[in-house]
A and B are shown apart, each in its own frame.
Chain A
Amino acid sequence: MQNRSLPLDKLCLDQEGKVSRLLFKGNKRRQMMDLGIVEGTKLKVALKSHSGNPMAYLIRGAVIALRNEDACKILIKKI
């Protein structure tokens, strides 16, 4: 089933997704990609902090915390 893209921060705890697009530009884009967030990468919501922002994601075996302001620029497809 083809599902629509949604921003990463909209995922619930323990949900998984595949990166479909990055909306960052320039250096920020590169910084995110260097963490292993490239098209097709599988991500999983690992932790939610007390206010729901930041959240931490399982990315290529590492747990990385991102603020929602950044996570919303990572578009994913649920799997």
Chain B
Amino acid sequence: MGLTKNSTGLSVAKDEFNSKEFPDCDKVIAVAGNPNVGKSTIFNSLTGLNQHTGNWPGKTVTNARGKYTYNGKEFILVDLPGTYSLNSNSVEEEIARDFICFGGADLVVVVMDSTCLERNLNLALQIKEMTSKIVVCVNILDEAERKGIDIDFDELSMQLGAPVVGTSVKESEGKAALLKKVYDVSIGEEKTYDIKIDYPKVVEDVIDLLEPHVKKIVGSRINSRWVSVKLLDMDKNLNATLTKHLNYDLLNDEVISNILKETKKDFAINDINEEYLRDEIVSSVFKKAENIYRLCVHLKKVNYNEKDRRIDKILTSKLTGIPVMIALLFVIFWITLSGANYPSEIIADALFYIQDKLTLLFNTLGAPEWLHGSLVLGLYRTLAWVVSVMLPPMAIFFPLFTLLEDVGYLPRVAFNLDHFFKKSGAHGKQSLTMCMGFGCNACGVIGCRIIDSQRERLIATITNNFVPCNGRFPTLIAIITIFFAGVVSLPYQSLLSTLILTAVILIGIFMTLLVSKLLSQTILKGVPSSFVLELPPYRRPQVSKVIVRSVFDRTLFVLGRAVLVAAPAGLLIWIMANVFLNKISILSYFSNFLDPFARLIGLDGVILMAFIMGFPANEIVIPIIIMSYLCTGSLTGFSTLEELRLLLVNNGWTWLTAVCTMLFSLMHFPCGTTCLTIKKETGSFKWTVMSFLIPTISGIITCFLLTSIVRLFGLEF
């Protein structure tokens, strides 16, 4: 099976980044920094945009741009992917490096995490080597203060030859100063100074020889000292980019290539190999970073991270790591389910009350029955269903999950689960992409970009659908509350529902691991690549901001999308149920056709049809099922859960039907948006088809086996 560079997301991630796209703005500002230092937060606060943020490395995988005006000048801000270095190990690093060097950025804002300055300084120094015009932003100052980390800003500014601004999560803090410094430096009102990183003498000697010639060629376009260092340890990608932008191949330059040839000879004689040279160059930057750190940072408490480590030990240790994880999942589901019950009923009551009023209005106006049927019973009723079933659980689940994300728990999950993913031949960061899948599988698929290995990225993409997105989540919740919760008496209802929901999610995780393993032993063979994951410091989440953000940005957005799909679908369903050919409605034709096969896997024709019609958006599956039963059956009034349960039972539902519907909801083809995203990310039709087929086949096999066994032993009742 060929895995080519074209068949994976690299080409997509690399969409050309060029400031020429912004002809009518005054200044282009790049925002760079290590992963997870709050670049996106800074970006949002300057531009007023709402780029999603979260406390885990790799959150920003797409390149965001935004505009703002300051003192009458227009600035374009480009949010670069977070990288540890610019030595070009990965696509993100190449994107960041090329934009800083050749993308025409007028200035680079280097964002650093104040609680981890030493490591962050490495990147700042690398950027400073390339371009003098930087503004340093020391972010998350509130956490540093809490941990007793004292930073000498004046000294830091002197050492880096650039202005340093302190900012913190509290939005306003430091924002004005940052805006001013960016303005001052970009128009040249405030000067920045070159700083020199001292390399070992062997390297410096060669730089002395190379730099004058390089300077003649590159002029002031790029820092000639940096280019000289890079010539010594040249990688092909960088040379290609340099050649493209300079219109001149430096390695083919007679003088330069001669110097390099002589140097190589000299190195060989003195037993200096390439690896040593490279190591020395990298180490020199770190040594400088160490020195600056020592000069500028004073710790009031030596063990300032003590508290984080203690929490970490509970969340990741052998005994407690995984139980705590499952318990957290359980608690979140429990709050969601028990909290959503009541509002769901209130919303449903209100919306169906409006439906009655609408019916009355249509009758008074003497509107024809088909108009009332299609608009009120079809379109409006489906909408009412989608809103009342989806809104409450989402409005509770999203903020809770976002809180976990903001605190920094998700990387710990990846750390806990890595062992299992490795055994399945997959990447530990796959659990992060699964977490994104909880929100939306299309986002989960895009999130797979954080996995470097193409093989492992494909595994993560194909299996992402085993995590129920918020479109399928309500389906699961609805079935559980309608069908199972009624079995036990009131105080235990939500507990039982939560248990079932948690079990379903765990089955999804189990299937992800199983299918990953099967894939990595068959069509995606290979050994697990390495796994490097930073576990960021815990941060205190801003509860009010999280709630506002997740309700407005996510819940309402997702609901809006669902409503857009549900309205026409409701209309279509009503028409299909009320247009008759030979006294049988089109809906019945369709569901009767599917019925024999659907019965084999424990469903019925209507349920399978609902899943197929739910391809544009999974949110409408349950409404379609209920609508179809209502249209064909005699029951018209329903309001309580018990009546709904009766509706399902009257249509032949048993506990097996409910379980199979949940399992099939967990394991079937991804929705239309996700399929399109997979096609875009993988750039391959074949892998899109695979991503469609593999979950579907898994679902069919699971449901078929379960149904056969249950029926064999006569356990269906």
**Residue positions of A touching B, CB distance < 8 A:** 22, 25, 27-36, 38-41, 46-54, 56, 58-67, 69-70
10 A-B pairs with the lowest CB-CB distances in the bound complex, closest first: A34-B85, A60-B119, A50-B318, A63-B535, A51-B419, A60-B118, A38-B283, A61-B116, A65-B533, A33-B282
Number of interface residues of B (CB under 8 A): 44
User: Shortest Cβ distance from B531 into chain A, in angstroms?
Assistant: 5
Query: Nearest residue in A to B282 (C-beta to C-beta)?
Result: A33
Whether A64 contacts B534 by the Cβ 8 Å rule is yes
User: Shortest Cβ distance from B93 into chain A, in angstroms?
Assistant: 9
Given contacts A36-B119, A64-B535, A65-B531, contact A54 B85 (CB under 8 A): no
Stretch at the interface among B309-317, B633-641, B645-653: B309-317
Q: B117: CB under 8 A from chain A?
A: yes
The 8 A CB mask of B70-98 against A (1 = contact, 0 = none) is 00000000000000110101000000000
22 A/B residue pairs, CB under 8 Å, sorted by A: A29-B278, A30-B87, A30-B89, A30-B278, A34-B84, A34-B89, A35-B84, A35-B119, A47-B316, A47-B415, A47-B535, A48-B317, A49-B316, A49-B416, A49-B419, A54-B418, A54-B533, A61-B115, A62-B119, A62-B534, A69-B528, A70-B530
Q: B189: CB under 8 A from chain A?
A: no
Please measure, in the bound complex, the distance between the C-alpha atom of A51 and the C-alpha atom of B534, giving whole angstroms: 19
Most A CB within 10 A of own CB, among B116, B322, B528: B116
Whether B415 contacts A36 by the Cβ 8 Å rule is no
Please measure, in the bound complex, the distance between the C-alpha atom of A65 and the C-alpha atom of B279, giving whole angstroms: 22
Contacts of A27 in B (CB 8 A): 89
B 99-140 contacts with A by CB, 8 A: 115-119, 122
Excluding A25-B275, A40-B283, 20 further A-B contacts by CB distance (< 8 Å) are A27-B89, A28-B530, A29-B275, A29-B278, A31-B532, A34-B122, A39-B279, A39-B283, A46-B312, A47-B313, A48-B318, A50-B318, A56-B535, A61-B118, A64-B533, A64-B535, A65-B428, A66-B530, A66-B531, A67-B528
Please measure, in the bound complex, the distance between the C-alpha atom of A17 and the C-alpha atom of B87, giving whole angstroms: 26
Query: Nearest residue in A to B452 (C-beta to C-beta)?
Result: A31
Q: B422: CB under 8 A from chain A?
A: yes
Query: Nearest residue in B to A59 (C-beta to C-beta)?
Result: B119
User: Shortest Cβ distance from B94 into chain A, in angstroms?
Assistant: 12
Contacts of A40 in B (CB 8 A): 283
For A65, give its contact among B278, B313, B319, B535 (CB under 8 Å): B535
Query: Nearest residue in B to A69 (C-beta to C-beta)?
Result: B530
Please measure, in the bound complex, the distance between the C-alpha atom of A60 and the C-alpha atom of B419, giving whole angstroms: 25
**Residue positions of B touching A, CB distance < 8 A:** 84-85, 87, 89, 115-119, 122, 275, 278-279, 282-283, 286, 305, 308-309, 312-313, 316-319, 321-322, 411, 414-416, 418-419, 422, 428, 528, 530-537
Query: Nearest residue in B to A32 (C-beta to C-beta)?
Result: B532
Please measure, in the bound complex, the distance between the C-alpha atom of A32 and the C-alpha atom of B531, giving whole angstroms: 11
Please measure, in the bound complex, the distance between the C-alpha atom of A47 and the C-alpha atom of B119, giving whole angstroms: 19
Most B CB within 10 A of own CB, among A54, A58, A69: A54
User: Shortest Cβ distance from A69 into chain B, in angstroms?
Assistant: 7
User: Shortest Cβ distance from A17 into chain B, in angstroms?
Assistant: 17
Whether B318 contacts A67 by the Cβ 8 Å rule is no
For B415, give its contact among A30, A34, A54, A58 (CB under 8 Å): A54
Whether B317 contacts A50 by the Cβ 8 Å rule is yes
Contacts of A48 in B (CB 8 A): 316-318
Whether B532 contacts A49 by the Cβ 8 Å rule is no
Contacts of B118 in A (CB 8 A): 36, 60-61
Please measure, in the bound complex, the distance between the C-alpha atom of A59 and the C-alpha atom of B120, giving whole angstroms: 12
Query: Nearest residue in A to B93 (C-beta to C-beta)?
Result: A34
Query: Nearest residue in B to A64 (C-beta to C-beta)?
Result: B534
Whether B418 contacts A49 by the Cβ 8 Å rule is yes
Contacts of A58 in B (CB 8 A): 305
For B282, give its contact among A38, A47, A61, A62 (CB under 8 Å): A38
Most A CB within 10 A of own CB, among B122, B318, B530: B530
Contacts of B416 in A (CB 8 A): 49-50
Contacts of A41 in B (CB 8 A): 286
Contacts of A66 in B (CB 8 A): 530-532
Please measure, in the bound complex, the distance between the C-alpha atom of A77 and the C-alpha atom of B278, giving whole angstroms: 22
Please measure, in the bound complex, the distance between the C-alpha atom of A69 and the C-alpha atom of B316, giving whole angstroms: 20
Query: Nearest residue in B to A39 (C-beta to C-beta)?
Result: B283
Most A CB within 10 A of own CB, among B85, B286, B313: B286
For B122, give its contact among A36, A49, A52, A65 (CB under 8 Å): A36
User: Shortest Cβ distance from A35 into chain B, in angstroms?
Assistant: 6
Query: Nearest residue in B to A13 (C-beta to C-beta)?
Result: B313
Contacts of B419 in A (CB 8 A): 49-51, 53-54
Please measure, in the bound complex, the distance between the C-alpha atom of A34 and the C-alpha atom of B322, giving whole angstroms: 31
Contacts of A39 in B (CB 8 A): 279, 283
User: Shortest Cβ distance from B429 into chain A, in angstroms?
Assistant: 10
Please measure, in the bound complex, the distance between the C-alpha atom of A53 and the C-alpha atom of B278, giving whole angstroms: 30
Whether A50 contacts B321 by the Cβ 8 Å rule is yes
Contacts of B283 in A (CB 8 A): 33, 38-40
Whether A54 contacts B84 by the Cβ 8 Å rule is no
User: Shortest Cβ distance from B659 into chain A, in angstroms?
Assistant: 31
Whether A67 contacts B312 by the Cβ 8 Å rule is no
Please measure, in the bound complex, the distance between the C-alpha atom of A41 and the C-alpha atom of B283, giving whole angstroms: 10
Whether B286 contacts A38 by the Cβ 8 Å rule is yes
Whether B279 contacts A67 by the Cβ 8 Å rule is no
Contacts of B418 in A (CB 8 A): 49, 54, 65, 67
Whether B535 contacts A67 by the Cβ 8 Å rule is no
Contacts of B279 in A (CB 8 A): 22, 29, 33, 38-39
Query: Nearest residue in A to B90 (C-beta to C-beta)?
Result: A31
User: Shortest Cβ distance from B337 into chain A, in angstroms?
Assistant: 28
User: Shortest Cβ distance from A57 into chain B, in angstroms?
Assistant: 10
Contacts of A56 in B (CB 8 A): 312, 316, 415, 535
Whether A54 contacts B282 by the Cβ 8 Å rule is no
Whether B309 contacts A46 by the Cβ 8 Å rule is yes
User: Shortest Cβ distance from B72 into chain A, in angstroms?
Assistant: 40
Whether A36 contacts B286 by the Cβ 8 Å rule is yes
Please measure, in the bound complex, the distance between the C-alpha atom of A46 and the C-alpha atom of B310, giving whole angstroms: 10
Please measure, in the bound complex, the distance between the C-alpha atom of A41 and the C-alpha atom of B414, giving whole angstroms: 26
Query: Nearest residue in B to A14 (C-beta to C-beta)?
Result: B309
Whether A34 contacts B535 by the Cβ 8 Å rule is no
User: Shortest Cβ distance from B173 into chain A, in angstroms?
Assistant: 22
Please measure, in the bound complex, the distance between the C-alpha atom of A39 and the C-alpha atom of B275, giving whole angstroms: 13
Contacts of B415 in A (CB 8 A): 47, 49, 54, 56, 65
Contacts of A28 in B (CB 8 A): 530
Query: Nearest residue in B to A46 (C-beta to C-beta)?
Result: B309
Please measure, in the bound complex, the distance between the C-alpha atom of A51 and the C-alpha atom of B535, giving whole angstroms: 18
Whether B119 contacts A61 by the Cβ 8 Å rule is yes
User: Shortest Cβ distance from B320 into chain A, in angstroms?
Assistant: 9
For A67, give its contact among B89, B317, B531 (CB under 8 Å): B531
Whether A34 contacts B282 by the Cβ 8 Å rule is yes
Please measure, in the bound complex, the distance between the C-alpha atom of A20 and the C-alpha atom of B53, giving whole angstroms: 38
Given contacts A30-B89, A61-B119, contact A70 B532 (CB under 8 A): yes
Contacts of A36 in B (CB 8 A): 118-119, 122, 286
Contacts of B532 in A (CB 8 A): 31-32, 35, 64-66, 70
